[in-house]
Structure 1
Amino acid sequence: MRGGLRTATDALNCAGHGMLVALLSSQYQRFAAIAEAWLAQGASAFGVFQDGHPLIYWPSSHRLARPSLSVPITQDEQPIADLRVAGVTGMAAELRLRADAALISYLLQLEHDLQCMTADLVTSQDQQLALYRLSQSMRDHVTVHETLRSLVAEGMRMTKSHAGFAAFIPKHGQDPLLVKSSESFLSDEMAWRIYWHTRSLEHAVSLPDPDGDFPLLPGIEDLLAVPIRVRGSIMAGMAMANRAGGFGTPDMKLMQAIADQASAQIERMLLYQEMFDQAKLRTEMDLARRVQLDLLPRQLPQIAGLDIYATSRPAYQVGGDFFDFIVNPGRPFVFSLGDVTGKGLSAALLMTMTRSAIHSKAQFMPFPTPEAVMRQSNEDLYNDFTRVGVFATVFVGQYELGSQRLIYANAGHAPVIYRPFDGPAQLLRADSTAIGILPVSHCRNQTLNMRPGDVLVVATDGFSDARNAHDETFDIERLIDLIDQLAPRTAREIADAMFETVDRFGGGRNQDDDQTLVVIKGAAS
C-alpha cells in the first residue's frame, strides 16, 4: 500500500503547514501503520487535510473529497487540520478516529513544546537541551512502564547520577509500577518507602537526612527524590542517587523540570488510553446489544384467535429483560417474559441463562405446562443464582389453539394486567417467589379467558417504576387505568401507546430501567 504525501517544500509555502507537515514527514511510518489499520477494518481511504487540501492520504489514488467521517486535529485547543476516513460509519468508528486525532494533537503539542523549549536555550541552554532530549526519548513510548524506564535512564544521564528509580501508582485498583536502574540498587521495599515519604511531604526530599526517617541507606551516598503530580494529585515519583559532588539547587530545579515533563507525558498517555478503552467498550457493548437483540424473537407468531405484539427497550445498551415465543406444530403456543435483577452486561448474561432454561423446557418437555416449566427452570437455575446473589421474575403463558383459554404461572412478576372485554382491568398477582429465591418453585397453573376483546398485558417494572422530574413513579394504578382506556385498540397500538404515555410522563428524563412487554388480545378465529 502506498500513500500520497505533499512535499515539505510545497506545504511550507502555505501558512501554518510547517509544524504539521514536519510531523507527517518524521512520523510517516506511524501514520502509514494507522492508515493500514483503518483500511484493514473496511475503510476505503484515510488521510490528513489542512485548509481543505490533502497533506497525506492512503491510497494514493483517493483524495477523500467526500469522507464519511471527519475529526479535527487541534493545537492549543484550536483546530488546525482534520483527520478523514471514507467507507466506514458508526459510533465505534467515530470514537476510534477521535482517539487517533487526539494522539496526533498530542504529538503536535509535543512538537510545539519542544520548539518553545528550544527558544529558551538563550537563558538556560544546557538544561533546556537536556529536557529536549528527554522529551525526544519519551515521545514514542505508548505505556507508562516504558515512560518510567526512559525517565530513569534519561534522569541519570542528565543529572550525572549512577542510579535511580521511578514509581507510579494508578487509580482504580490497578497494579503499581516500580522501575529501578538495577536490581542491586535498593530493595523494592526501601524504594517504596522513599516514594511514600516524598508523597506524604509533597515536595522534594534529599537523603541522607540525619533528622529524618532515612539517615543511612546501604550503598547510597546521596539521593534526591521528587514527587510527580498527575491530574492534580501525586501519582508518581522519581529519585536519582550517587551523584559525584552531591545534589545542589540547580540539580533540584532540573529534577523538577524532568518531573514536570514526565507528568505531562503520563497524563497524555492516560487520556489516550482512556479514549481507546472507551471506544473498545462501546464496540463491545454494541456487539453485546446486537447479540441480545438477536436472541429475542425476530417475528411475532401468528396464532389463530390471538392478536400478539411484544417488544423490549433496554435502559442501557444491554439489559436483563427478555420475552420469548415457542411455537411447535401439534403443541400449545407458549410465551414467556422475565426480568433479571441488575442492568448492563452482567444482567444480560443471566438473562440469556434464564431464557435458555425456560425455552428448552417449554420446547422439549413431553407435556409442558407453565407450572412444570417454571418448576424445572427454577431447579436448573437456583444454585447458580444463589451463588451470585440474583433472581429473576418470570411469567409463562400457554394457549391451546381454539380453546379461548390461557393457562399461566407467575414467579414473582409484576405488573401483569388482565382486562376482560366486559369488565375493568385488574392486576394479576404472583402466587410464588421469583426464580432463584427458593430451591422449589410453588407456582401453580392459573386460567384466564381469552375471548375476543379480552386483553392481557405482561410488562416489566420499567413501566410502573418510571419516574418524572418530581421523582414520582408512574405506578401500577396508572397502568391499570391506562389499559382500561387502551383496551379497544389492537395489541400493537396498546404497546405503542404505553411507551408514549410513559415517555410523556417522564418529561424527557433518561430511562431508569429496561422496559419490556407482551400484549395479547383475544381475536375472532
Structure 2
Amino acid sequence: MNQQSSDRISNYDDGQARSISNAGIEHLLIEASHILNSDLELQQLLKNVLKILTDYLNAEASAIYLTSYASGGPELFTFTVDGKVINRPHPPTEGIGVAARVIETKSPLMINDFNSEEALKCCVDEKLGLSSRNLVATPIFYKDQLLGVIEVANKKDKTDFSETDLTIMKALSEQIGLAISNAELIQSLRKKNIEIQSLYEVGKLLSGKLELEELLQIIIEQVFNLVKARLATIYLVDPKDGSIREVISMGVPPEYESKLTMKIGEGITGWVAKTGQAAVINNVAENRHYVPLLPETKSEIAVPLLSRGKVIGVFNVESDQLNAYSRDDLELLQTFASQAAISIERDLLYRQSLEQKAFRDELDIARRIQQTFLPKSGPRLLDYDIAGVNIPSEAVGGDYYDFIDIVENQCGIAIADVSGKGMGAALIMATYRASLKAEIRNNFAIRTILAKVNSLLYESINRENYVTAVYGVLDIRNHIFTYSNAGHPPPLLFKANGEVQELTCGGYAVGMFSDSTYEEASIYMGRDDIMLMYTDGVTEARDERGEEFGTNRLRELVLQSRNLSAKEILDKIVDSVNKFRDSSLEADDLTMILIKSIK
C-alpha cells in the first residue's frame, strides 16, 4: 500500500477523500465528538457511531458489539454495505469471532490478509453480509471497564488499513466509550423515572377501591411496558392441591392458555414457587427446570409473590430474545411483585372476612334455629321438679334434650349426643330429633321407636357418625319411668336411701348399625328420688393434669345437693365442672336433665 492511499480517509461531511495530518486527526476527532454528543438517545447514538466509523475510515461496513446493552445482555449492531443498521443479540463465538478475540486480548486487531484466517473471515462475512478483504477492530473502554468492540471492514478504495486508520479507531473508541456511557446513564435515568412514576401510580391505586383483577391488570400492563416482555403472567398457588394457576396474563395466545396450570416444582415458575427464590434465566435452553410454553421464548424472569414469608404466587415474564434481562429488570419485577402480593393479600383478607361474616351469620341462624329445638323451661308436672340445661361448646352443638307431651299423665324425656361438634353435628341432631318425634307420634313402644330411628339415621349419615341417646316415658300417675339407653352414658338414679343405680338397659348407639335392636326397662320413682341424665361433656371434662371430672365427683355433688331444687342442683354441677376444667383445653357440649320426685 502506497503512502498516499494510507493517509487518505473520507470526510464525514462531504465524503470526499483528503489527506490528513496529526492536526487533521485532531480536527476530525473534534468533529466526531460534536456528532456523537449531538444526540445521546442510545439507538441514535449507535447509528451515528456506525456512520462515523464507515465514513471516517472509508470502509464498506462497520459493527459495534456491546457486552452489556442498556444494562441488559450482549448485543451486536452492524452497518451493512447497503446502508442498513441492524441490531440483534449476538454473543461472540468463543475464541473465533473478531469481538471474542479483541475482548480476550483487550487489544486492537488489524487484518489486511485473511488467507490464514479463514474461520475468522467466515464469521466477519456472516456478520457484515459481505466478502471481507481486510478489517480493523479496537476495544471500547470507559474508566477501565470494557464496554464492547468496534470494527470496520473493507476499504472502499481496495487498499489496506493503515496504522493511521488504527490510530483513528483507537481515538474514536475513547470518544465512543464516553458517549455510550453517557447515553446509557441518560437512558437508565429516564427508565428509572418511568419506573418510579409507574410504581407511584400503582401505589395510589392500592389505596383505592379497585377490584383485584383490575389492579393486577394494571400491574401486569406496567411491567409489560417497562420490561422487554413477550409474555407476562401472574400465578397464584392453590394450597388445596399444590397447583399453580394463572390469574392474569398478557401475550399468551388462546391456544396456550390451557397450559397455564402446573404443579409446585414444575418448570421455572414451579421451581420459584417451591424455593421462594427469584430466577433470571437469559437462555432458557440451558436451564434444567425450563418447561416450554411459547416456542419462541429465549429468556425468562420469575419472582415469588410473598405474603408474611409464605409464597402465595409467582410473577413470570418471558422474552423472545437471548440475554434479555438484567439485575435492574429483576429488581423492578420484584417491586411490582410486592405490590401484586399486597393487592392479593388484601383481597384474600377481604374475601375471607366476607366469608367469615357469612359463616357467622349462618351459625347465628343455625344457633337460633337449634335453640327452638330445646325446651324453654322444664315441664310443670304434679309431684315432680324437672329442669334441663344445654351449654354448647361452639355456636351450635351436637347435644339435645327435650320434654315431649305424649298423652295425659305421660311425658317423654329425651337426651342425646352426636359424635363430633359444630355444624355437622347440629345437622345430624336435627335429623335425629325430627325422626324421634315422628316415631313418637305413632305411639310405638320405646324399643320400636329407637329401632326405627336407628334405621332412618343409618341411611342418612356417614359411618363414622352416630348418636348416643336415652329416651324414656315418665308415667306421672304411677311414678314409673320406662326407658331405653342407646349407647349413652347411663343416667343415674339416686334413691332416697342413698343407693345409686345406673340405667343401662338398651342397645347400641343410634345410626351405628343398620339392624340394631333395643330393650327397654322400667324403674319406680319414689319420694325424694332423683334421676340425672347427662352427656359425656360433664364427666369427661379434664383439669390441667389431664384428670377427668368423672362420675364419682358427679355422684357426690348430687348427693350433697339433693335438698336443693332441680335447677339449683344443675347450676351447682355446671359451676363445679367449669371450675374443674382446664380452660386451655377444647371443651365439649354439656347437657343435663334432672328429675326430682317431690310427692
Deviations 1:368-414 (A, max 9, x none): 332222122112212223x3421111101112231011111111110
Residue 347 of structure 2 aligns with which residue? 269
Q: Does residue 1:236 correspond to 2:236, yes or no?
A: no
Q: Does residue 1:382 correspond to 2:450, yes or no?
A: no
Q: 2:317, 2:356 → 1: CA distance?
A: 36
Q: Does residue 1:282 correspond to 2:360, yes or no?
A: yes
Equivalences for 1:273-312 in 2 at 5 Å? Answer: 273-312=351-390
Deviations 1:2-60 (A, max 9, x none): xxxxxxxxxxxxxxxxxxxxxxxxxxxxxxxxxxxxxxxxxxxxxxxxxxxxxxxxxxx
Q: 2:320, 2:296 → 1: CA distance?
A: 12
The unaligned stretches of length 5 or more in structure 1 are 1-120
Residue 492 of structure 2 aligns with which residue? 417
Deviations 1:423-478 (A, max 9, x none): 32232224311111222333222111112211110000001001111111011122
Q: Does residue 1:350 correspond to 2:428, yes or no?
A: yes
Q: Is the 1:321–1:515 contact (alpha carbons within 8 Å) kept by the matching residues of 2?
A: yes
Residue 194 of structure 1 aligns with which residue? 268
Q: 1:190, 1:272 → 2: CA distance?
A: 26
Q: Does residue 1:499 correspond to 2:574, yes or no?
A: yes
How far did residue 184 of structure 1 move?
1.2
Residue 369 of structure 1 aligns with which residue? 445
Letter in 2 for 1:131: L
Q: Is the 2:230–2:251 contact (alpha carbons within 8 Å) kept by the matching residues of 1?
A: no
The unaligned stretches of length 5 or more in structure 2 are 1-188
Letter in 2 for 1:333: C
Equivalences for 1:147-226 in 2 at 5 Å? Answer: 147-173=215-241, 176-178=244-246, 179-184=248-253, 186=256, 188-189=258-259, 192=262, 193-200=267-274, 202-213=277-288, 214=290, 218-226=295-303
Q: Is the 1:468–1:509 contact (alpha carbons within 8 Å) kept by the matching residues of 2?
A: no
How far did residue 240 of structure 1 move?
2.3
Residue 154 of structure 2 aligns with which residue? none
Letter in 1 for 2:233: F
Q: Is the 2:506–2:519 contact (alpha carbons within 8 Å) kept by the matching residues of 1?
A: yes
Residue 134 of structure 1 aligns with which residue? 202
How far did residue 342 of structure 1 move?
0.3
Q: Is the 1:397–1:409 contact (alpha carbons within 8 Å) kept by the matching residues of 2?
A: yes
Distance 1:180 1:194, change over 3 A: farther
Letter in 2 for 1:153: E
Secondary structure of the residue that 1:161 maps to in structure 2? coil
Relative contact order: is structure 1 or structure 2 higher (C-alpha 8 Å, sep ≥ 6)? 1
Distance 1:340 1:200, change over 3 A: closer
How far did residue 229 of structure 1 move?
1.7
Deviations 1:98-153 (A, max 9, x none): xxxxxxxxxxxxxxxxxxxxxxx999533211211233455556665444433322
How far did residue 495 of structure 1 move?
0.8
Q: Is the 2:377–2:388 contact (alpha carbons within 8 Å) kept by the matching residues of 1?
A: no
Letter in 1 for 2:456: D
Letter in 2 for 1:301: P
Structure number with greater Rg is 2
Secondary structure of the residue that 2:376 maps to in structure 1? coil
Distance 1:428 1:190, change over 3 A: closer
How far did residue 321 of structure 1 move?
0.3
Secondary structure of the residue that 1:169 maps to in structure 2? strand
| Aligned positions, number | 401
Equivalences for 1:305-320 in 2 at 5 Å? Answer: 305-320=383-398
User: Out of 329, 335, 338, which is 1:251 matched to?
Assistant: 329
Residue 97 of structure 1 aligns with which residue? none
Letter in 2 for 1:337: I
Letter in 2 for 1:184: P
Distance 1:175 1:456, change over 3 A: farther
Deviations 1:276-306 (A, max 9, x none): 3333322222222111111112232222222
Deviations 1:165-204 (A, max 9, x none): 1111143459753022144175543774331133345122
Secondary structure of the residue that 2:304 maps to in structure 1? strand
Q: Which of 185-194 and 496-505 deviates more?
A: 185-194
Secondary structure of the residue that 2:352 maps to in structure 1? helix
How far did residue 514 of structure 1 move?
0.4
Secondary structure of the residue that 2:507 maps to in structure 1? coil
Identity %: 25
Deviations 1:246-285 (A, max 9, x none): 3233222211221122222222333333333333322222
Letter in 2 for 1:477: N
How far did residue 332 of structure 1 move?
2.2
Distance 1:441 1:483, change over 3 A: farther
